[in-house]
Amino acid sequence: MKKKSTILPIVLFPILFVLLISAIKGLEYFYDFSFVKYGVLPRHISGLKGILFSPLIHSDLSHLTNNALPILVLLMSVRYFYKSISTEVFIWSWLFSGFLLWTFARQNYHIGASGIIYALSSFLFFSGLIRKHTKLMAVSMFVVFLYGSLVWGLFPLQERVSWEGHLTGAISGLLLAFWFRKEGPPKQIYQYEIDEMVEQLAQQNPNVTYHYKEKNQKE
Lowest mean pLDDT among 14-18, 119-123, 160-164, 181-185: 181-185
The pTM score is 0.82
* 2-179 maps to CATH 1.20.1540.10: yes
Q: How far is CA 142 from CA 139, 179, 191, in A?
A: 5, 22, 25
Where exactly are the structural domains of the chain? 2-179
Lowest mean pLDDT among 15-19, 32-36, 212-216: 212-216
What is the four-CA torsion angle of 12, 13, 18, 24, rounded to 10 degrees? 120
Beta-sheet strands, E only, within the chain: none
Q: Flag whether pLDDT at 137 surpasses 70.
A: yes
Closest Cα to residue 185, out of 141, 133, 142, 130? Answer: 133
- The whole-angstrom separation of Cα 104 and Cα 109 is 13
Residues composing the chain: 219
- Strongest mean pLDDT among 79-88, 150-159, 184-193: 79-88
Contact 124, 74 (CB under 8 A): yes
Mean of the pLDDT values across residues 196-214?
Answer: 62
Three-point CA angle 129, 130, 131, nearest 5°: 95
pLDDT tens, residue by residue, 31-40: 999 999 999 9
Closest Cα to residue 91, out of 55, 129, 127? Answer: 55
